A and B are shown apart, each in its own frame.
Chain A
Amino acid sequence: MNALWQVIKREWVLARRIGAGAELGLVFFLILISVVPFAIGADQKLIGRIAPALLWLAALLATLLGLDRLLQADEEDGVVDHLLLSGTPLTLVMATKALAHWLVTGLPLSLAAPLLGLMLAIEPQAMLPLALSLLIGTPALTLIGLIGAALTVSLKRGGLLLSVLVLPLSIPTLIFGATVVKEAAAGRDYSTPLMLLSGVSLLMLVIAPVAAAGALKHARH
């Protein structure tokens, strides 16, 4: 347990020191949102209609960003060797890495989402469901990304390949997440997509650490 706590603390410190912490993720999120009106015009109604999709796409892209270095840096400087030697189950270490990554990407995005939703003219009654859907759905994105990160750990420029591997698998998360917000904005019941979204997140919580640990072990010998 102590080792896992150290992993989280280390990730947090690293994220802060190299300036890739929560703030930068938020700035990236904000920039993505700001670029949209320039691309499609300052049509408030249109933006409001596609805003749920935009925020979810932004979350997807923001999650992808740090993934290629998530495990690779540890592999290169020998941290993975130490973790293996410490006897901590690699599966749990992987789950902890995902948690740490989510704490500096998914969580801040979820908390900031209502504010950005305000800028994108999302209906007021959809603000809470928006934050809730991101809070529940972004862990699934991080976990799927973790599998991709473990598979491409030995590649020097694996970033693009990682996106190609990860994006098709994140489609269900995107569908259910964006639907929660859309349904809520239309004033309809959104509990079904929210439950499906939770299901995807829970399933990924089961699969991803095992798959990532397996991929990381196999990449080493």
Chain B
Amino acid sequence: MENAAKPALWMRLANPAAFNALADKLLWPLVIACLAAFAYGLYGSFFTSPADYQQGETVRIMYIHVPAAWLALFTYAGMSVSALGTLVFRHPMADVAQKAAAPIGAAFTLICLITGSFWGKPMWGTWWEWDARLTSVLILFLIYLGIIALWRAIDDPLRGARAVAILTLVGAVNLPIIKFSVDWWYTLHQPASVFRMGGPTIHKSMLTPLFVMGLAYLLLYFVLLIIRMKTELMNRRIERLRIAAADHAARAGG
């Protein structure tokens, strides 16, 4: 064994035990880094960064809202990579990662929608505006829900994984088209956007907390992903043990 070449890391991780060992090593440092980033980021967003001259204190919603939007997309990208891992490389951890990521992505998307709505009330005077960006995020949310529903509908985890992988990839191809069509629909039928949030005009005093919050969200994503993957592995193990126990009982009885 000593002389055998060590396989690449991602191949070794195909073994749930190896994955768990690495996950346990990474989890606590990630949790601490995540908490630190949130502490620094939230302090920056609420206390040290200035209020906007037009939007006032409302601008602080941005520090919660924008990173959620980033992570909503980032999670989908990660799920698409996992989907390729499931379909092309048949990596056993890929579908675990994907199953674990879907509700996290849906949660980030929901945070983005709700905070967007909170921001819209004082800025636009309405909780919901059929604005191009709000609408595309809403559709992203619906796609996340569809993926979660498909996971729940198929009992066999292996078959479910492949069905979800195909749906995720079809969604990945469609998302740019949906984004484009919604933008196009909006410019065609609605007046120009009321406010342009963000953009290059944003000042450095606001940019720093925003990026720190983005980092905090990213770390949170990894923390949640690892915890959920470990839970999923444990669930599958319990399921196997149950089947084995039932099988054993049936043999003993028969």
Contacts and interface: CB of A to CB of B under 8 A. Distances in A.
Interface of A: 147, 151-152, 154-155, 158, 161, 164-165, 167-169, 171-172, 175-176, 179, 196, 200, 203, 207, 211, 214-215, 218-219
B145 interface: yes
Nearest to B163: A151
A200 B177 CA distance: 8
Given A155-B153, A164-B149, A215 B184 contact: no
Contacts of B153: 152, 155, 158, 161
Nearest to A166: B146
B181 A196 contact: yes
Given A172-B174, A196-B181, A211-B169, A219 B159 contact: yes
Given A155-B153, A161-B153, A169 B170 contact: yes
Contacts of B159: 154, 218-219
B5 interface: no
B185 interface: yes
A175 B145 CA distance: 22
A161 B173 contact: no
Given A175-B182, A176-B181, A168 B170 contact: no
B62 interface: no
B113 to A, nearest CB: 14
A218 B83 CA distance: 13
A172 B171 CA distance: 12
A211 B185 contact: no
Interface of B: 87, 139, 142-143, 145-146, 149-150, 153-154, 159, 162-163, 166-167, 169-171, 173-174, 177-178, 180-182, 184-185, 188
Contact of B143 (A152, A168, A200): A168
A202 to B, nearest CB: 12
Contacts of B167: 147, 151, 165
A151 B178 CA distance: 21
Nearest to A192: B184
Nearest to B188: A179
| SS of B interface (majority) | helix
B243 to A, nearest CB: 19
Contact of B178 (A152, A165, A171, A179): A171
Q: Which of A171, A200, A219 has the most CB of B within 10 A?
A: A171
Given A151-B163, A151-B166, A165 B150 contact: yes
Contacts of A203: 173, 177
Contacts of B180: 172
B166 A218 contact: yes
Q: Which of B143, B149, B181 has the most CB of A within 10 A?
A: B181
A168 B146 contact: yes
Nearest to B140: A168
A164 B163 contact: no
Contacts of B177: 172, 200, 203
A155 B154 contact: yes
Nearest to A152: B153
Contact of A219 (B163, B173, B181, B184): B163
Contacts of A207: 170, 173
Contacts of B182: 171, 175
Nearest to B143: A168
A169 B174 contact: yes
Q: Which of A151, A158, A161 has the most CB of B within 10 A?
A: A151
Contacts of B139: 168, 171
A105 to B, nearest CB: 21
20 contacts: A147-B170, A154-B159, A161-B149, A164-B145, A164-B149, A167-B142, A168-B142, A168-B146, A169-B178, A171-B139, A171-B181, A172-B178, A172-B181, A175-B184, A200-B177, A207-B170, A214-B87, A215-B162, A218-B162, A219-B163
Contact of B163 (A167, A176, A179, A215): A215
A167 B146 CA distance: 10
Given A147-B167, A172-B181, A176-B181, 18 more contacts: A154-B154, A155-B153, A158-B153, A165-B150, A165-B167, A168-B139, A169-B170, A169-B174, A169-B178, A171-B181, A172-B178, A179-B188, A203-B173, A211-B170, A215-B163, A215-B166, A218-B159, A219-B162
